[in-house]
Copies of this chain bind each other. A is one copy, B any other.
Amino acid sequence: MGMGRPREFDAEVALDQAMEVFWRHGYEGATIAQLTEAMGINPPSLYACFGNKEGLLKAALDRYTKLRVAWMNEVVCAPTARDVAERMLMGIAEKQTDPANPPGCLLVQGGIACGTGSESVPFELAARRSQNEDQLRDRFVRAKAEGDLKPTSDPAALARYVSAVSVGMGVMASSGSDREALRQVAIVAVQAVEAQSADRT
């Protein structure tokens, strides 16, 4: 039994192109024609490799979140909860306005609301976002245990808050806000975390 004809395209490179299309147009707004053109392949190759449109999205999300989790792991290395929030939100201001990518965040742009037959997509995106929030919450739990955050603070609420701000920044970025506007939002947002921080002696 032979091993068959080898595929002529690099799946990861193709996935990066697909990711961009989903990022820019959303799941429903992205057509198979646009995706295949960007990926440099024909529909049958796409379906053989990724199953269907939703399978392609999930593969793209896997790739996206893998990079994101790695970045978050660096972010939570900051010494204090305040610095974690600042590093994260300032980093997001940069990333979401990086001209190398479409503006905003794939986990938001991908699809907040979807039509019949794609109801699972928004949940899929939400699940990936909450993954991020969990990383943050764990870090804030530690910060509270270390006395970095006040005893009255709620690490879960704080993580939800920072996550909400980052989502809001993503929407702003996708609708034209520039990097400076996002930085301003980040700077203000960090002050809420600072208010939850123990006094530095």
Interface residues of A (CB under 8 A from B): 24-26, 28-31, 34, 104, 108-116, 118, 122-123, 125-126, 129, 154, 156-158, 160-161, 163-169, 171-172, 174-177, 181, 184-185, 187-192, 194-196
Asked if A115 and B161 sit within 8 Å, CB to CB, the answer is no
Q: How far is the CA of A188 from the CA of B165 in the complex (A)?
A: 11
Number of copies: 2
Q: How far is the CA of A185 from the CA of B154 in the complex (A)?
A: 11
Which of chain B's residues have a CB closer than 8 A to the CB of A192?
188-192, 195
Please classify the interface of chain A as helix (H, G, I), strand (E, B), loop, or mixed, using the class held by over half of its residues. helix
Which of chain B's residues have a CB closer than 8 A to the CB of A31?
115-116
Which of chain B's residues have a CB closer than 8 A to the CB of A194?
195
Asked if A115 and B25 sit within 8 Å, CB to CB, the answer is yes
Q: How far is the CA of A43 from the CA of B161 in the complex (A)?
A: 43
